[in-house]
Amino acid sequence: MDNGKVAIVTGGGQGIGKAVVKRLLDDGFKVVIADIDKEAGRETLEEYHALGDSVFMHADISDEAAVKAVVKETISCFRRLDVLVNNAGTMIRKPLAKLSLTEWNKVIGVNLTGAFLCAKYSAPYLSKNKGSIVNIASTRAFMSEPDTFPYSASKGGIVALTHSLACSLGPEVRVNCISPGWIDVSRSEKRRTRKPEKLSEMDHKQHPVGRVGRPEDISAMAAYLISDTAGFITGANFVVDGGMTRKMIYE
């Protein structure tokens, strides 16, 4: 049932973002799917069209003019904005000596600067409706594998940006953050590149909950954080990783 509210989901064409789009449509939101990948965005729009009112907007969120255009078009289409989910992200994995400044800036630009820009231009409209921002970070903000420098740095920045925005935009806007762990997004990739992830029994068993995560685990947390039930929560980061970051590992 239409709840009258409107959400923007960046990176909504694939992966976790696609699951968030579906959950919000199921919960009665009108949803703007903002994605740089036209193929993925249009597939998601087509797949979920029957669930509710949604539109796809092609955008590189590291570009300020593109972000301003998405927000402007959202208001033009739906006359309001209640929720922003900053999910879009990219990764470049390279040894430090081989990582160029251009590559560093690309990851920081999409993952961190993009979240800042979307928050900046959405905030005036979110404030009018006591809205909410949910930022998608990563457990890599707190722990790392080798050669993930810009990704880890950007996700750590998102966690810090979250509490800064919460203190600056409150009480009109609540801002929270989710840090996913290992999430199997293979089923929610675009059709042309979709391949089932080969998960072993050990992959599942090494998680204290007994399985690798699913995109729906993150979309459920996002739905909770934007709900009135979470009205006393802001500036917080929620690790959703099946318990992996609480596990002591000895070699």
Give the three-class secondary structure for 118.
Answer: helix
Would you name the residues annotated as active-site residues? 151
Alpha-carbon Rg for the chain, nearest whole angstrom, is 17
**Count of other CB atoms within 10 angstroms of residue 72:** 11
Total Cβ atoms within 10 A of residue 4: 12
Determine the Cα–Cα distance for residues 183 and 32; give it in Å rounded to an integer.
Answer: 23
Q: At which residue do the structure tokens 């990219």 appear? A: 90
212: phi then psi, degrees, rounded to nearest 5: -70, 150
